[in-house]
Amino acid sequence: MQKTDMIIKKKDILLCIMFVLALIGRGESFANDNDNIYTLHPPHLSIPKGKPGETRRIITQFYNWTLICDEKQEQKLKQGVCNVTQTVHDQEDNTIFSWSLVSTKSSQAVMLLRTLSNADTNVPIQMFLEGVKKPVLIHYTQCNEEICLAQLPIGPSFSKQIEQKKKVRISYKVKDGKTFSFILPFEGLSEAIYSLQR
């Protein structure tokens, strides 16, 4: 009888250890997370400014990333302005988040993040990278009636995540206390960047 009790206790302890290890493992990988509340869509596009036919827009899809390039037709050197964008929708098909890889005037690569206009700007956007325990905090730069903006420079660790086609979790809070949290894949982003360099 005592031997049976000891075996049962050992099994219970083993199950507890396995459960704790499973929870610890979840903090560093998003591979098994299932976010079926939010979906990725190509961005809604506005009509380019200027006269009809003045700007040629080229749109190329790279998995869940959309490369958008606007090229002025009248210029002798046809230089385009490009960005690579990913957009998140909720169950009602509302855009709740988007981010774009853009180049600043000083040619620095940054991620431009767009949230809902009622975002709680006192609470930074949190970005959780695979294999990194502490989240990256991204502070808002401005808001208007339509969106709130934040910016994140592309550093070495972030570039590595893009190259390795990792996933990232983004979380942000709105003023009514609700938190939006979703997983976004980098797959396709490095291919889009490479296509610009050819």
The per-residue pLDDT for range 48-106, each reduced to its tens digit, is 777 777 888 888 999 999 999 888 877 655 567 889 999 999 999 999 999 999 987 77
**Residue 3: is its pLDDT beyond 70?**
no
Tokens 């972030």, residue located = 158
Count Cα neighbours of 165 within 13 Å in the Cβ-side half-sphere: 9
Name the pTM for this structure.
0.75
Residues 23 and 45 both lie in one domain? no
Residues 193 and 151 both lie in one domain? yes
Q: Which tens digits make up the pLDDT trace of 19-56?
A: 333 333 344 455 545 456 877 776 766 777 777 778 88
Structure-block tokens of residue 38:
């939010």
Residues 23 and 48 both lie in one domain? no
CA atoms of 162 and 122, how far apart (whole Å): 28
Give the chain's end-to-end CA distance (angstroms, integer). Answer: 74
Torsion angle in degrees (nearest 10) through CA of 86, 91, 97, 102: 10
**Across 1-10, 96-105, 189-198, least confident range:** 1-10
Which carries the bigger pLDDT value, residue 79 or residue 12? 79
pLDDT at 104: 79
Contact (CB, 8 A) for 158 and 138 = no
Query: Looking at residue 119, what DSSP letter applies?
Result: B
Residues 19 and 90 both lie in one domain? no
**Across 1-5, 23-27, 107-111, 177-181, least confident range:** 23-27
How many domains are contained in the chain?
2
Structure-block tokens of residue 45:
């596009």
Residues 169 and 93 both lie in one domain? yes
Residues 49 and 111 both lie in one domain? yes
Q: Which tens digits make up the pLDDT trace of 116-169?
A: 999 999 999 999 998 888 999 999 999 999 999 999 999 888 899 999 999 999
CA atoms of 183 and 60, how far apart (whole Å): 22
Residues 19 and 54 both lie in one domain? no
Residues 5 and 44 both lie in one domain? no
Residues 1 and 64 both lie in one domain? no
Residues 171 and 143 both lie in one domain? yes
Residues 23 and 82 both lie in one domain? no
Over its C-alpha atoms, the chain yields an Rg (Å, rounded) of: 22
Which residues span the domain enclosing 72? 39-197
Residues 20 and 71 both lie in one domain? no
Query: Tell me, what CATH number does 92's domain have?
Result: 2.60.40.1880
